[in-house]
Amino acid sequence: MNSCAERIYNGLIKENPTFVLMLGMCPTLAVTTSAINGIGMGLSTTAVLVMSNMLISMLRKIIPDSVRMPAFIVVVASFVTIVDFLLEGFVPSLYDSLGLYIPLIVVNCIILGRAESYASKNPVLPSIFDGIGMGLGFTLGLTCIGIVRELIGAGQVFGFQIMPDSYQPITIFILAPGAFFVLACLVALQNKLKNSAAKKGKQVARAAGCGAGCAACGNRAACGGHMSALPADEKEKEE
Amino acid sequence: MNENYKVSSSPHIRDKISSSNIMLLVVIGLLPATIFGIWNFRHENAWILVVVTTAAAVLSEYIYEKLMHKPITIHDFSAVVTGLLLALNLPPTLPWWMGVLGSVFAIVVVKQLFGGLGQNFMNPALAARCFLLISFTGQMTYFVYDGVTGATPLADLKAGEAVNTMDMLIGNIRGTIGETSVIAIMIGAMFLLLMGVIDLTIPGTYIVSFVIFITLFGGHGFDAQYITAHLCGGGLMLGAWFMATDYVTSPITTKGRVLYGVCLGLLTGLFRLFGGSAEGVSYAIIISNLLVPLIEKITLPKPFGKGGEK
């Protein structure tokens, strides 16, 4: 059970898909015009992620290595279709505001990334919790961005008027450029907090804490293997 | 005597001119338009907006550099130029805090986050104007002259109504604080031309290509009155002489400047004739600013002796 809790912590904080891994930027920037959209998108993705992680983990010994990508896509697309219809049936207003971005969950890189780097190599239970952790991390990121954008751009949070009536909303924040401003500021703030915690000598979760080693990592090409070398070096120093 | 033997890297000969000199000259060049604007919109108390916006630009530069432990650069007047240009691009009735917000955006986001003076990828004042225009469309397009609200001459022109070109030349019309008087702008521009701060290439090609575009697609043919109205209306003159010529965001080579000017002219014409709003100078300039690195790339001069190489 310990590893399950670790998976959730990993997804929420250590490898938060929005603020640390910077994955799934397209829905992050596009749908976070309000907090409720952020939560809706985050939870839809979480649902798909948990189900697909579970199924892919179950099938991991059957799927041939050479066709794993098409197989993953088929699994993910099936769940996305289910979520798509459920949203259309039960929360039509949210479905309307998320629009095209629901079908686009199929190609969301968080889902394929977790399938490739975690679910296809690990047992079912940790994979499910990995999906929950990553999904909640994504939801957290989207909701934070949504709250800030909605507050500045419309004076509301979750549709409730927060700012006084005399407040003049800065409309640009609920338009496309605002998404970039808010994301950049939140990532900077997050890095600032991390850096000052590191200065105080606290153990800080590293950005690409790929504990499993580089051989298993889907992002190896991007980091060139030096990311895992860093924490190891530091551990030696501390010891 | 010993100084002659000192070994140092180039440059060995320095001109007396410095960035603070140039910025000061630009401020002086902007003064006629500023003074006219403040007088023109005296009933709207435009001077408060001008002072507050300029002060906010300088102050936000100072505070940012203080907080980031960087050398304080407010004495080079570049923040004054940015704040003043932004103020001249705002309608006189704008609430003062929106001007402050624009200044903070121009200095902190557009200029300092990208590395300060010389590193900004687009004109900070215009970026801030567009930021305000998108955020507060109502207030940014609310124009008053002598207590009477209405459309700018450029909007009238787009609607097909007659405009008084003489008024547009002198400047007693609706518009942003600094853009109304072509004569005041030209006095400042002539001063900068004579001092060698700006050269004719960018404004010249900008205006010529804009006139050609208007003649071809404006639907009036070569109608001198229509073309003059387009040239005197809106922010074209202020943009062409003071903002398109910004050293940081314009190309270095003459060839590049010609290309940049043509680009500006085409985009402005496109936005004014076929765009949703009557004015398009600020968007034309910031989009061309973004094209500058590409323009520099294709107009890169060949080093001596590299001509034959393929």
- What is the pLDDT at residue B275? 83
- What is the pLDDT at residue A204? 52
Of A125-139, B148-162, B170-184, B245-259, the one with minimum mean pLDDT is B148-162
Nearest CA in chain A to B109: A181
B186 vs B184: CA distance, rounded Å: 5
B67 and chain A in contact, CB less than 8 A:
no
CA-based nearest distance A172→chain B, Å: 5
CA-based nearest distance A18→chain B, Å: 22
For residue range B165-179, list pLDDT tens digits in order.
888 888 888 888 888
Inspect the interface and report whether the beta carbons of B131 and A171 lie closer than 8 Å: no
Identify which of A78-82, A158-162, B153-157, B233-237 has the greatest average pLDDT: A78-82
For residue range A115-131, list pLDDT tens digits in order.
888 888 889 999 999 99
For residue range B268-285, list pLDDT tens digits in order.
999 998 888 878 899 999
Identify which of A225-234, B4-13, B248-257 has the greatest average pLDDT: B248-257
CB pairs under 8 A between A and B: 18
Task: Specify which residues A161 forms β-bridges with.
Answer: A156
Of A38-47, A69-78, A94-103, the one with minimum mean pLDDT is A94-103
- Over 90: is that where the pLDDT of B3 sits? no
- What is the pLDDT at residue A10? 84
- What is the pLDDT at residue B283? 92
- What is the pLDDT at residue B269? 92
Q: Is the peptide bond before B11 cis (omega within 30 degrees of 0)?
A: yes
Inspect the interface and report whether the beta carbons of B109 and A181 lie closer than 8 Å: yes
Please tell me which residue, B152 or A183, carries the higher pLDDT value.
A183
Mean pLDDT value across residues A189-202: 80
Task: Specify which residues B149 forms β-bridges with.
Answer: B144
Contact B239, B286 (CB under 8 A): no
Task: Specify which residues A156 forms β-bridges with.
Answer: A161
- What is the pLDDT at residue A236? 41
A175 and chain B in contact, CB less than 8 A:
yes
User: Which tokens sit at A87?
Assistant: 């949203």
Nearest CA in chain B to A176: B134
- What is the pLDDT at residue A55? 93
CA-based nearest distance B277→chain A, Å: 18
For residue range A24-62, list pLDDT tens digits in order.
888 888 888 888 889 999 999 999 999 999 999 999 889
- What is the pLDDT at residue B310? 54
A188 and chain B in contact, CB less than 8 A:
no
Per-residue confidence band for A213, with pLDDT thresholds at 50, 70 and 90: very low
- What is the pLDDT at residue B12? 77
Per-residue confidence band for B2, with pLDDT thresholds at 50, 70 and 90: low
B23 vs B77: CA distance, rounded Å: 6
Enumerate the residues of chain B whose CB falls inside 8 A of the CB of residue A181: 109
Please tell me which residue, A239 or B175, carries the higher pLDDT value.
B175
For residue range B128-137, list pLDDT tens digits in order.
999 999 888 8
Inspect the interface and report whether the beta carbons of A172 and B131 lie closer than 8 Å: yes
- What is the pLDDT at residue B45? 85
C-alpha distance from residue B228 to each of A107, B207, B223, B235, B245 (Å): 53, 11, 9, 13, 22
Inspect the interface and report whether the beta carbons of A170 and B109 lie closer than 8 Å: no
CA-based nearest distance B280→chain A, Å: 18
Q: Which residue in the set B131, B134, B136 is minimally distant from A168, CB to CB?
A: B136
Mean pLDDT of the residues in chain A: 81
- Over 70: is that where the pLDDT of B93 sits? yes
A9 and chain B in contact, CB less than 8 A:
no
Mean pLDDT value across residues B115-123: 87
A113 vs A135: CA distance, rounded Å: 12
Inspect the interface and report whether the beta carbons of A181 and B101 lie closer than 8 Å: no
Contact B264, B244 (CB under 8 A): yes
Per-residue confidence band for B308, with pLDDT thresholds at 50, 70 and 90: low
Inspect the interface and report whether the beta carbons of B134 and A175 lie closer than 8 Å: yes
Of all residues in chain A, the percent with pLDDT exceeding 70 is 83
Using alpha carbons, select from B47, B46, B108 the residue that is nearest to residue B79: B108
- Over 60: is that where the pLDDT of A222 sits? no
Task: Name residues 110-139 of chain B within 8 A of A (Cβ).
Answer: 131, 134-137
What's the pTM? 0.81
Please tell me which residue, B224 or A49, carries the higher pLDDT value.
A49
Straight-line distance from the first to the last Cα atom of chain A, in angstroms, rounded to the nearest whole number? 28
Enumerate the residues of chain B whose CB falls inside 8 A of the CB of residue A173: 135
Query: Which is it for strands A160-161 and B148-150: parallel, antiparallel or unpaired?
Result: unpaired
B16 vs B8: CA distance, rounded Å: 19
- Over 70: is that where the pLDDT of A201 sits? no
CA-based nearest distance A65→chain B, Å: 43
- What is the pLDDT at residue B213? 93
Interface predicted TM-score (ipTM): 0.77
A172 and chain B in contact, CB less than 8 A:
yes
For residue range B202-223, list pLDDT tens digits in order.
999 999 999 999 999 887 777 8
Per-residue confidence band for A215, with pLDDT thresholds at 50, 70 and 90: very low
B101 and chain A in contact, CB less than 8 A:
yes
Nearest CA in chain B to A171: B135
Q: Which residue in B64, B101, B108, B135 has the most chain A C-beta atoms within 10 A of its own C-beta, making it the best mutation to test that interface?
A: B135
- What is the pLDDT at residue B4? 64
Per-residue confidence band for A224, with pLDDT thresholds at 50, 70 and 90: very low
- Can you say how many angstroms the Cα of residue B119 is from the centroid of all Cα atoms in its chain? 17
Longest dimension (CA), chain B: 74
- Over 70: is that where the pLDDT of B296 sits? yes
Contact B30, B188 (CB under 8 A): yes
Per-residue confidence band for B159, with pLDDT thresholds at 50, 70 and 90: confident
- Domain B19-299 CATH (choose: 1.20.1740, 1.10.3430, 1.10.10, 1.10.3470): 1.10.3430
- Over 70: is that where the pLDDT of A202 sits? no
A52 vs A111: CA distance, rounded Å: 8
Inspect the interface and report whether the beta carbons of A171 and B101 lie closer than 8 Å: no
Nearest CA in chain B to A170: B135
Mean pLDDT value across residues A211-223: 46
Helix (H), strand (E) at residue A160? strand A160-161
Within chain B, strands assigned E span: 143-145, 148-150
Please tell me which residue, B8 or B248, carries the higher pLDDT value.
B248
- Over 80: is that where the pLDDT of B199 sits? yes
